[in-house]
Structure 1
Amino acid sequence: MPAPPTEERNRLDRAALLDAAERVFYERGVQAVGMDEVRAVSALPLKRIYRFFPTKEDLVVAVLRRRDQRWRESLAAFVARVPEPRERVLAVFDWLAEWFADPGFRGCAWINVHGELGSSSKAVLAEVRAHKRAFHDQLAGWVGATGVAVVEPVFLLFEGAVVTAGVSGDPAPARDARAAAATLLGMP
């Protein structure tokens, strides 16, 4: 009988599983990808996968939760490079432009999963809402530092740009949303 996996092996396998699942779910959609495909791309046995995540829904929630952390950290690091508060808000849209230009960009992972499972999975809906609230709060901090009360319109510009770019495949909505945000902030 083989020895049980070490804590390190569990950590590495779980990370590999989440990487693989995130990639195929984002590329093709959650419902289009079966657990056999997740097994194949992660190179882990199904039994091991189900030890980490007893259901596919649990796996989807874990993927979204981890993606949220990495996504918001990446955005924060990008924005932190800009010292002036109003320019920081505009940097959010510059970050979007880079994301939209990535060949793997497929729109908002949370909106995509919400469209597939949001009405049938309370856990997924809760995770999507948690991400949107956390991002809203993050953005509110940056907008609030400008002294201009435009959090909601800037948030909607961001969200609209993501959805529009995801559907159109064109990165231009980041530029257009940036210009509109600059106007809201009273910038030339």
Structure 2
Amino acid sequence: MKPRRSARDLLIESAETVFYERGLGATNVNAVAQAAGVSKPTLYAHFPSKDELAAAALRHRHERRSAELEAWLAEVEDPAERPLAVFSWLIHWYGERGRRGCAFLNAAAEVVDAEAPVRQAVQAEKTWLLELLTGLCAQAGAARHAHLASQLLLLIDGVAGRVVVQGPQAAARATAEAADAAAVLIAAAVAKS
């Protein structure tokens, strides 16, 4: 028998989906409660505000995506190939679940208060990704690995922006073009080391 998920877990999972599909501003808590199959008072018993719920949903998304990416990278034996493997994972991810671009950048665009829980969740995600890329670039033997990691993150965020502006049909081409640019940057940085 499958264990029953808690109302809190249902709310977080539903919020992650609904906020990503509809946007934070366009989605009220009633829509999340309905998607989770719980009452609005139950929602507020677990989350004091929509912002807290959205931040929890983003943290949940981060946990899943970071685990997926780390598992993908673990399959790449050569450390020199791992920075570029991030882009092959992005091609895969956008093809399956990324039709609205990056949920974190989308949320940051909607919530301007730098102290808001949503912005803090976004900052944590981007800090984690930059640190991951920095480590991968160092392991690959790249000169100025932190600088290269920052450039790669700019490419990744650029793909997300292209998808938001041009729609999901732009994802494959944008990711492939970003991967081409990343390959050039990586090769140059490794050659300088």
Q: TM-score range by the shorter chain?
A: 0.7 to 0.9
Q: Pairwise CA RMSD of aligned residues?
A: 1.8
* Partners of 2:80 and 2:140 within 8 A in 1: yes
- Tell me the equivalent position of 2:21: 27
- Tell me the equivalent position of 1:128: 122
Matched residue type, 2:9: A
TM-score by length of 1: 0.88
- Give 1:166 deviation, angstroms: 3.3
Query: For the structure 1 residues 120 and 130, does the alpha-carbon distance in structure 2 shift closer, same or farther, using more than 3 Å as the test?
Result: closer
Structure 1: state its 5+ residue gaps.
1-7
- Tell me the equivalent position of 2:157: 159
Ranges of 4+ aligned residues in structure 1 off by more than 6 Å:
none
**For the residues of structure 2 that align with 1:34 and 1:162, how far apart are their CA atoms?**
24
Does residue 65 (structure 1) correspond to residue 66 (structure 2)? The answer is: no
Structure 2: state its 5+ residue gaps.
189-193
Matched residue type, 1:186: A
- Tell me the equivalent position of 1:99: 93
Q: What is the CA deviation profile of residues 35-88 of structure 1, one whole-angstrom value per residue up to 9, with x for unaligned ones? A: 111111111011111111011111011111111111111111111100112211
- Tell me the equivalent position of 1:174: 175
TM-score by length of 2: 0.85
**% identical equivalent positions:** 34
**For the residues of structure 1 that align with 2:97 and 2:77, how far apart are their CA atoms?**
30
- Tell me the equivalent position of 1:140: 134
**For the residues of structure 1 that align with 2:34 and 2:18, how far apart are their CA atoms?**
11
* Partners of 2:81 and 2:140 within 8 A in 1: no
Q: Relative to structure 2, which stretch is displaced further, 16-25 or 148-157?
A: 148-157
Query: For the structure 1 residues 178 and 81, does the alpha-carbon distance in structure 2 shift closer, same or farther, using more than 3 Å as the test?
Result: same
Q: What is the CA deviation profile of residues 86-140 of structure 1, one whole-angstrom value per residue up to 9, with x for unaligned ones? A: 2111110011111111265211111111111133762222221111111111111
* Partners of 1:61 and 1:123 within 8 A in 2: yes
- Tell me the equivalent position of 1:5: none
